[in-house]
Amino acid sequence: MQFFTEHFNTHHLLHHPHKWFLALLVSPIHFAEIHYEKKYHLNFVHAKKLFVFDITLLLLAITLFISTIFWFTYDPTITKLVYLNIKTTNSRVASGNYVEYTINYKNENPLPLISPILAINLPNGFILDQAIPADKFQNNFFTLDNIMPKTTGSVTIKGWIYAIPEQDNHITATLAFKQSGKEKYEEKSTLLIKTLRGSVLNTKIESQKIILPNDNIPIKIIIKNTGEKTLNNITIPLPNSSEIKFVSKDLGQTNITINELKPNEEQVFFLNLITNISDNNKKNIDLNLTPQLEINRTKINQTTLTYRLDIARPKTNSTAVWQNNIEKAKPNETVQLKINLKNTGNINLINPKIELPITGSIVNVEQLKNLNNGTYKNQIFTIPLDNLEINSTKELIINIPINNFPQGGNDLLFSLSPRLNSSLNNITNNYSEIIESPAIKIGTNLLLNPEIRYFTNEGDQLGRGPLPPQVNKETKYWAVINLTNGTSKLSNVNLSVQLPNYIVWTGKTSVTNGSDIRYNAKNNTASWVSNSLSAHENAGIYFELALTPTTEMRGSSPILVQNIAINGLDSYINETVSQKYGSLDITIPDDKIGQTKGIKVE
């Protein structure tokens, strides 16, 4: 190459390096040219023959290519000039609607279509009402007359269509025919894709929109036929899982069945929905009901109804403790129960209340009602509260008065189980939670029943001397002191009585247990001691006293016994139990027979 020979030298390397570098790049071409000139120059004596041979091969390849294209594209049929389409008069169709399909055909060929047969492939849920022309239709086939060149025609199918809504439904028409003088049928097909929008079978659910994770709510399902044709054999499978279950006394738990549903008729079913949702993160749950119609011996799903239920999770962080953390209580003592509530759920608590089950065996109910703001009914003490909103707190103090003489067994343990009960917005069932308090010990008490007697209730005479008492004449009475222990063992029980100085100790005594009565003449007192009294044990202390009235006592009822006192140690709560009684005189209120004889000195 001339460019290479001119520029690939030292001069251009020093003064024009860019041209020298370009010459270096084209150097392979230059050396290839030199090699060709040396080896092949003046050796092409057969070039003309080779040229003719190459042209012949090229023409043969072109001929084969054109023949192949013709072979694969040649169509001996006449279907290209046969036109077929399907049209419907309804733009929007629901499952169960009455529809009309018209199949139009046209022959643009110069040849007639011989023995044409038009086949219609309809959905399984299509119920035929009318085919036009009816005399040419049988088993989804129209047997047509020969279709002449340049002519058109149509057939019509009418009926009710039932299919799965919101899915494509294919309706195909196929025209089969023969050419004149040929026995083989040719076919022309067309396709109509139709999507049904909704269904004439309307399903509706009426229920609360918010449920609890573990709930049992009433639910109403309404099925209505909005179409113009009676529907038969309707089935609605009911959801049944580990989380939701429908129950009904009439339907069982499987499905709803309707044998017949006339146009514009509806049927209502009342059920209960039982929920058992353990997933704490789940915020809602969907009820999916899919009615099924049996058409042409085929079950066809209709529009699925999805009914969403939101899940409310009412929850409280609640405690019930005894004020000052007491562990025991004595009879006649008032203790305080402190209840703390915090709404940790996702829904407000409406009109909450504390329901406190209480009987009168340990608690003084009348005092309970007076000490607290609440109502008592059917052994439940109810305290109303203000609404408890989400994340809000509430503290409540309840005064609990203990009975004077608690009952209910031995060594009583007392605890309370207040129940928080609250309504919830838009939810049928209430929220409830039981709060357990610690148990405390309840101590025992003594019932002290002292009396003076001259006669027994049966009429036996105990006393001696005139009755009513007479001045300067001795009359003898018996002092009767009955003790009843409560629910716990008492130890070191001591009884003491004081006698007026005009009363004479006769020395006649009787006790049912413990030591004998001791009389101290120096201070005119009597005492009785027992090492213990078991729970619910009774004791009787009886002694005789003599009264000789003086003139100053005439017309009065002198005192026989005074300053009655008893005490003991409650070994259950380690507390002292004591009772006192004032005085007893000769009015003997418990001795009805003696009272009739006289109660004043004469």
Q: Give whole-number Cα distances, 489 to 341, 439, 549, 574, in Å.
A: 39, 20, 42, 10
pLDDT in tens, 445-494: 999 999 999 999 999 999 999 999 999 999 999 999 999 999 999 999 99
pLDDT given at position 73 = 63
Residue 27's pLDDT band (boundaries 50, 70, 90)? confident
pLDDT given at position 2 = 72
pLDDT in tens, 388-442: 999 999 999 999 999 999 999 999 999 999 999 999 998 988 999 999 999 999 9
The 3-state DSSP class for residue 440 equals strand
pTM tops 0.85: no
pLDDT in tens, 256-295: 999 999 999 999 999 999 999 988 889 999 999 999 999 9
pLDDT given at position 45 = 45
Rounded to 5 degrees, what angle do the CA atoms 190, 193, 199 make? 145
pLDDT in tens, 69-119: 766 665 667 888 999 999 998 788 999 999 999 999 999 999 999 999 999
pLDDT given at position 163 = 95
**How much is the mean pLDDT over the chain?**
90
pLDDT given at position 414 = 95
What mean pLDDT do residues 186-204 have? 94
pLDDT given at position 20 = 77
**Regarding predicted confidence, which is higher, 328 or 47?**
328
Residue 595's pLDDT band (boundaries 50, 70, 90)? very high
| Percentage of the residues of the chain whose pLDDT score is greater than 70 | 92
pLDDT given at position 49 = 53
What mean pLDDT do residues 45-65 have? 62
Q: List all residues 6 or more positions away from 553 whose beta carbon is below 8 Å from its beta carbon.
A: 471, 601
Domains of the chain in sequence order: 2-40 (no CATH), 79-195 (2.60.40.10), 201-311 (2.60.40.10), 319-442 (2.60.40.10), 446-597 (2.60.40.1170)
Residue 42's pLDDT band (boundaries 50, 70, 90)? very low
pLDDT in tens, 329-374: 999 999 999 999 999 999 999 999 999 999 999 999 999 999 999 9
**Comparing C-alpha atoms, which of 398, 384, 417, 392 is closest to residue 341?**
392
Q: Which of 28-42, 168-182, 470-484 has the lowest mean pLDDT?
A: 28-42
Give the DSSP letter string of 163-193: --TTSEEEEEEEEEEE-TT--SEEEEEEEEE
Looking at 385-523, which runs of residues are DSSP E strands? 393-401, 412-414, 419-424, 427-434, 440-442, 446-453, 475-485, 490-498, 503-511, 518-520
What mean pLDDT do residues 28-48 have? 58
Cα 34 to Cα 232: distance, rounded to the nearest angstrom: 98
Residue 50 scores a pLDDT above 60: no
Residue 316 scores a pLDDT above 90: yes
